[in-house]
Chain A
Amino acid sequence: MSAEVMASPARRSAVREMASTVATIMAKEVRSRFRGRRAFVVLTLYLGVLALIAYGAYAVEAPVAREAARFGGGEFGAIGVPNASARVGQAIFTVLSLFQLLLACLIAPALTAGAISLEREKQTLDMLIATPMRPAGLVIGKLLSAMAFVILILLAGIPISAMVLMYGGASVDDILRQQVVLFTSAIGCGVVGLFYSALIKRTQTATVLTYATLIALGIGTLLLFRLWTSLLTNDPRNTFGEVRRAPEWILYANPAVAMTEVLANTELEYGDFSELLDTLRARSGVFPGVPVEGPGNGIDDGPFFPPVAPPDRPADQAPELVSDHFWPRISITVTGIALLLTLLSTRLLGPVGRRPWAIRRRPAPRGTNP
């Protein structure tokens, strides 16, 4: 029988083996993590807080919006009832998104940063590694069981986010974008914790390094971008003093930027998130209702906002109303980093003394003697 014919069932059984490893680890972890009423109580409390926050946003925004609907709250007079409702929905969507993002990014690493190092500290890891389970299955099982709770609270939060559809202001597309960003961010943050857990012996150190890394990614990259941009802009060779931005790939591992874009997309007027997004990227789009300097739009008394359209854009091209620039790129980058770190964590669980990045010798197929 040729090697190709042999390879296929072997590969299928490897997949099955892997799945069974993941299931084994998850069964055990879920058994101990979800035993008793604790998980149930925490989930209920979380959803309660989420609903309360949504109500808080409603309570703050609704009177303002009602006012604006009747007497005008924007620059252009009364905004009308549908717009007012959308404004409430948008406010709720914003707080819910930010709250869930923050919580997912804080909770996920707290659950994963001990996943492997705790086994090491409790001296149970050796016995686990000494079983024929695939390290990859072990790592993924650990990740999924640690993330199970985060995934659960994110899933349970979807109906609350969907409440926004009742008000308008955020569409199904927006909620999809929001969920993609939330899930990839949570898993990315979780994997960073898992990686340090596999790399570092002590849980405490692993936890500190995890949060330090996440802060560096979430805040550090923004500061770096800001600093780099101002250095480029204030460079004496920049004769006309135009804004010169730092390379934007610095921000590609920053979930906060992705969420900023998702939120900017829901803004009815040029708001905080749109402004923030514009400082990060020269967008070729504008907002509905925002006058823009340009040929044929009939406004020549100067733009309300500084022109953001690059001069090389063809005049007849429709302005970009929705920005899908950062969040797909960031989601893909974060997923890629997560995969890479998972792979490295897997290697770290191999026999000690072998370099984790070394390519392992494949066992010779049985029955074939060289």
Chain B
Amino acid sequence: MSMEPVVQTRSLVKRYDGELALAGVDLEVAPGEIFGLVGPNGAGKTTMMRILATLLAPTAGQATVCGVDVDVDPVEVRRRIGYMPDFYGVYDDLRTWEYLDFFARCYGVPPSRRRGMIGELLEIVGLSDKRDAYVESLSRGMRQRLCLAHTLVHDPQLLILDEPASGLDPRARVEVREIMRTLRDMGKTVLVSSHILPELGELCTSVGIIDHGRMVRAGRIDEIERSLRASALLRIDVVSDAAEAISWLGTDPRAGDVMEVGGADGVSRLELPYDGGPDEQADLLRRMVEAGHRVAGFSQATSGLEEIFLQVTGMQEDSAA
């Protein structure tokens, strides 16, 4: 397999009636990756995915899928991707196998391959026993899986799944996650979006955090975590005089602004960004204790990735409240 990126965008811009939905996004997804696009609602995830699925024309910038420009040859791009929109309907009056057969025809799958392929797909999404059932009779979770199956009828290189687990109960979510794992094992490249990180965290090989039409951070998960490990938000509970501890911490060149975020029963909770990895943090704790501060708790406030995500989405929650 060539290592040419499956998805590549260069300063992609989309403007709706003067409003900027994407403000110059660069994105690169390598073959075989499960790329999680994370961000609050309205961040531009769906716009991004619709451009890649050739449903929207970009205002400026360039987007290529498997080396094909979405603006130049959308039909060729469509042949190489499977797309599942964030909101979608199904044809109620068809049977499950007819539904998949219809999309297989839409993608020009020859009749000889259709029959066996439909059986395989129903197997993958666990709907084999619903083959002859009307789509109307399927539960929401089953429809979601059926819709996932339809993205696979033409064995595409790339899957674009917009919020595949939204609106599902926990059990159905687990099922969708299982299917995603199967897709990963099949070697598909997947671009998947979610507005909640934990949903994707363990599944993805890479993530991009998008907010207000900008890519805030993107890269392989292990790389991001390594870079994040170099700095952290520390949470320190002190029993002694808080003001004294704050001023002492303020003299540390690695420490950022210290904030007292609460406390009870004579224990004060302090939070500070700390520019240092585990070594430096252990060092800080030792020096603090040696300086006579009575430390009752010392921990990282959140994991690094979640921290960034919460910073990004936190603003959104605030404005929504």
Which A residues fall within an 8 A CB radius of B?
Answer: 17, 20-21, 23-24, 27-28, 31-32, 35, 122-124, 126-134, 351-354, 361, 363-364
Contact = CB atoms under 8 A, between A and B. Distances in A.
Interface string B56-79: 111100000000000111111011
B105 A24 contact: yes
Question: Most chain-B CB neighbours within 10 Å: which of A124, A126, A363?
Answer: A126
B89 A28 contact: no
Contact of A126 (B57, B75, B85, B94): B85
A352 B56 contact: yes
A131 B91 contact: no
A131 B78 CA distance: 6
Given A130-B55, A352-B55, A123 B74 contact: no
A131 B109 CA distance: 12
B75 A132 contact: yes
A131 B150 CA distance: 11
Question: Most chain-A CB neighbours within 10 Å: which of B58, B75, B147, B150?
Answer: B75
B174 interface: no
Question: Most chain-B CB neighbours within 10 Å: which of A32, A131, A363?
Answer: A131
Contacts of A20: 105, 108
B94 A31 contact: yes
Given A24-B106, A31-B98, A363-B76, A130 B54 contact: yes
B87 A361 contact: no
B93 interface: yes
A270 B89 CA distance: 58
B103 interface: yes
B309 interface: no
Contacts, number: 84
A130 B72 CA distance: 15
A300 B76 CA distance: 78
Contacts of B78: 130-132
B57 A352 contact: yes
Nearest to B73: A363
A23 B111 CA distance: 13
A214 to B, nearest CB: 28
B57 A123 contact: no
B52 to A, nearest CB: 10
A126 B88 contact: yes
B88 A351 contact: no
B174 to A, nearest CB: 24
20 contacts: A24-B106, A27-B102, A28-B94, A28-B98, A28-B105, A31-B94, A32-B93, A32-B94, A123-B89, A124-B88, A127-B84, A127-B103, A127-B150, A129-B55, A130-B54, A130-B78, A130-B81, A131-B106, A132-B79, A361-B72
B53 interface: yes
A126 B93 contact: no
Given A31-B98, A363-B76, A130 B57 contact: no
A126 B86 CA distance: 10
A130 B83 contact: yes
B282 interface: no
Question: Most chain-B CB neighbours within 10 Å: which of A28, A130, A361, A364?
Answer: A130
Contacts of A354: 57
